[in-house]
C-alpha cells in the first residue's frame, strides 16, 4: 500500500512492561520513526499534547546544516553498523565535547537506574550488599534504604538509564532532596540510599562517571531536640507510673544516657558493681547485635537501688533462665525484650499526668534522655570521659583529649551523676520503680 502523502509526524506507543506511554517522531528523510521518548504519563490525551508541543519546538529550531544532514543520512542508511562503529562515533563526539557520556546497548550500565537501585538493596546475596562494609549491613538499614528508593528515587529517576545520569542530573536530584520538609539526617539518608549504590557502580567499572561524589550541603536544623527541664524530670520520676518497669527503663536512660536498644539488650549479667556493661544493642529485625560503635563499653551506674530493682525485675521474667535473661523481658515472646514503643508511650502518658498537654508531650522522644544526660553532664566531667561513657565515636574528641582512661575517671563521673540525679533516685524523696 502506498504511503499517505501527508503521514502523521508522530505516534504514541505503549512499550511492553512499561507503565508510561512513549512518543516517536517520523524522520522526514527516511519516513521511519526515530527512537522513542517517554511521555512521562499514562494518559493518551496528555501524551498527544506533549507530542505536539515537542514537535512545535522541533520545527522552530534552526534548520540542520546540509553537511550534518549528510552525516545523519549516512548513519540512518547504514544497515551494517556494529557496536564498535557506534563506540567510535560516540567517542569522537565526546572528544569534541559534544557528548558527556553514552551507554552502549551491551553495557552493564544499560539498565534502568531505578531498577538498579532496587535490586542493589533487595538482593541480600548480591554483590553490592556483600561488598558494603564486608556484608555487615543490618536488615533495618537495608529495608530503610529500599523504602527511600521506592518512595523518592522512583519519581526522580523515572526511566533514565544508569549510564545516562550526569553530574547535572545529580545536582538536580540534590536540589530536590534539599527542598524536602525533612530533618537534615533524613535528607542525608535519602541521598545515601542512591549515592552508595552509584559510587559502588563506578568503583566496579559499571559506570564511567563518579557523578554521585558530590555531597549534599544542608544547614543543620536550627531547632534542637526537645529535652525536659530538671524540675520537670524531678516531678516525673517522683510520681507513680502505671507500669513500674517502664519508669525504670526511662530512669536508666535519664541517668546514663544509654540508647533504647542498649537498654533493651541489658541482661542480668550486664549489671555490675556501680557500672553497667553495654555489650549489645537490640531491635526486633536484627535481634541481639553489637553496639552502634561495635565496641563494648562500661557505663557508670552509682545507684545501687536502681541496680537492685533491675535484678528483681529480671528474675520476675516468666521465661527466666539465669543471668543471661533480659532485664526488660517481653511477656509475649520467650527470649525477647519488651517493645521499645511501650517505654515511649509510658513516658508521654506520664507527662500528660503531671500536666502536659497531649501535643506538648508528643514532642518528647525516648532518645531525648540521651540529650538530657549529655547536656547536663557536660561541664561537670571531662569531655573525653563523657564521650567514652556515652559511646560517642567522635574521632576529633578522642584525638584531642586522648582515649586513655584515668584511674579517677569513673569516680568523678559517678560523683557527678549522684549530684545531678541523686535527688530523685536516692535519699527518700524518690519513688523508685518497684516490680510489677
pTM of the model: 0.57
pLDDT of residue 152: 93
Walk across the sheet containing 21-25 and list its strands.
10-14, 21-25, 37-38
Question: What pLDDT score was predicted for residue 435?
Answer: 40
- Residues 15-41 have pLDDT tens digits of 888 888 998 888 776 777 877 888 888
Q: Please write the tens of the pLDDT for every residue from 114-157.
A: 999 999 999 888 888 888 765 556 788 888 999 999 999 998 88
* Nearest alpha-carbon partner for 27 in 85, 77, 61: 77
- Domain 113-213 is found in CATH 1.10.150: yes
The pLDDT of residue 342 is 94
Give the pLDDT confidence score for residue 140 in this predicted structure.
81
Task: At 233, list the grid cell.
Answer: 524530670
**Three cell numbers, residue 427:** 535519699
Q: What is the CA radius of gyration of the chain?
A: 31
Domain borders along the chain are 1-60, 113-213, 230-425
What is the helix (H) or strand (E) element at residue 91, kind and residue range?
Answer: helix 83-95
Mean pLDDT for back-to-back runs of 10 residues, the chain (436 residues): 62 88 80 80 89 74 61 73 78 77 74 91 87 69 91 90 86 88 85 91 86 67 71 93 95 94 94 93 80 84 94 92 92 86 95 94 92 83 79 45 46 80 60 42
CA distances from 67 to 15, 59, 71, 405 (A): 34, 19, 6, 77
Cell triple for 363: 514532642
| 222 in Cβ contact with 228 (< 8 Å) | no
Q: Measuring CA to CA, which residue among 183, 246, 255, 254 is closest to residue 219?
A: 183
3-class DSSP state of 11: strand
Domain 230-425 fold: hpI Integrase; Chain A (1.10.443)
Of 346, 332, 338, 321, give the one whose Cα is nearest residue 433. Answer: 346
Amino acid at each position: 500500500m502506498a504511503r499517505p502523502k501527508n503521514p502523521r509526524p508522530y505516534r504514541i506507543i505503549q512499550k511492553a512492561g512499561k507503565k508510561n506511554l512513549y512518543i516517536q517522531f517520523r524522520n522526514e528523510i527516511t519516513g521511519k520513526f526515530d527512537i522513542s521518548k517517554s511521555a512521562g504519563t499514562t494518559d493518551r490525551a496528555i501524551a498527544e499534547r506533549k507530542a505536539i508541543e515537542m514537535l512545535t519546538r522541533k520545527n522552530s529550531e534552526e534548520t540542520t546544516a546540509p553537511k550534518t544532514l549528510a552525516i545523519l543520512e549516512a548513519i540512518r542508511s547504514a544497515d551494517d553498523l556494529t557496536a564498535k562503529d557506534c563506540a567510535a562515533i560516540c567517542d569522537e563526539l565526546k572528544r569534541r565535547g559534544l557528548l558527556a557520556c553514552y551507554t552502549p546497548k551491551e553495557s552493564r550500565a544499560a539498565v534502568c537506574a531505578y531498577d538498579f537501585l532496587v535490586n542493589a538493596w533487595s538482593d541480600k546475596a548480591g554483590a553490592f550488599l556483600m561488598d558494603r562494609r564486608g556484608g555487615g549491613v543490618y536488615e533495618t538499614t537495608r529495608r530503610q534504604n529500599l523504602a527511600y528508593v521506592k518512595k523518592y528515587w522512583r519519581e526522580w529517576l523515572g526511566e533514565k538509564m544508569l549510564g545516562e545520569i550526569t553530574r547535572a542530573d545529580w545536582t538536580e536530584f540534590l536540589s530536590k532532596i534539599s527542598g524536602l520538609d525533612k530533618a537534615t539526617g533524613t535528607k542525608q539518608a535519602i541521598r545515601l540510599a542512591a549515592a552508595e549504590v552509584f559510587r559502588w557502580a563506578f568503583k566496579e567499572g559499571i559506570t564511567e562517571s563518579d557523578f554521585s561524589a558530590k555531597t549534599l550541603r544542608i544547614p543543620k536544623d536550627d531547632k534542637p531536640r526537645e529535652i525536659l527541664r530538671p524540675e520537670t524530670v524531678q516531678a516525673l520520676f517522683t510520681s507513680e507510673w502505671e507500669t513500674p518497669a517502664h519508669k525504670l527503663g526511662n530512669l536508666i536512660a535519664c541517668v546514663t544516657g544509654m540508647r533504647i536498644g542498649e537498654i533493651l539488650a541489658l541482661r542480668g549479667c550486664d549489671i555490675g558493681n556501680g557500672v553497667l556493661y553495654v555489650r549489645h544493642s537490640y531491635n526486633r529485625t536484627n535481634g541481639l547485635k553489637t553496639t552502634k560503635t561495635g565496641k563494648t563499653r562500661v557505663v557508670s551506674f552509682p545507684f545501687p537501688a536502681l541496680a537492685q530493682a533491675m535484678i528483681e525485675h529480671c528474675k520476675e521474667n516468666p521465661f527466666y533462665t539465669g543471668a543471661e535473661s533480659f532485664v526488660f523481658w517481653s511477656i509475649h515472646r520467650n527470649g525477647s525484650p519488651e517493645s521499645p514503643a511501650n517505654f515511649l508511650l509510658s513516658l508521654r502518658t506520664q507527662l500528660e499526668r503531671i500536666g502536659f498537654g497531649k501535643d506538648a508531650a508528643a514532642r518528647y522522644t525516648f532518645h531525648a534522655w540521651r540529650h538530657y544526660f549529655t547536656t547536663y553532664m557536660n561541664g561537670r566531667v571531662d569531655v573525653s570521659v563523657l564521650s567514652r561513657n556515652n559511646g560517642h565515636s567522635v574521632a576529633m574528641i578522642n584525638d584531642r583529649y586522648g582515649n586513655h582512661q584515668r584511674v579517677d575517671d569513673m569516680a568523678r563521673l559517678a560523683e557527678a551523676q549522684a549530684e545531678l540525679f541523686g535527688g530523685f533516685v536516692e535519699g527518700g524523696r524518690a519513688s523508685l520503680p518497684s516490680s510489677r
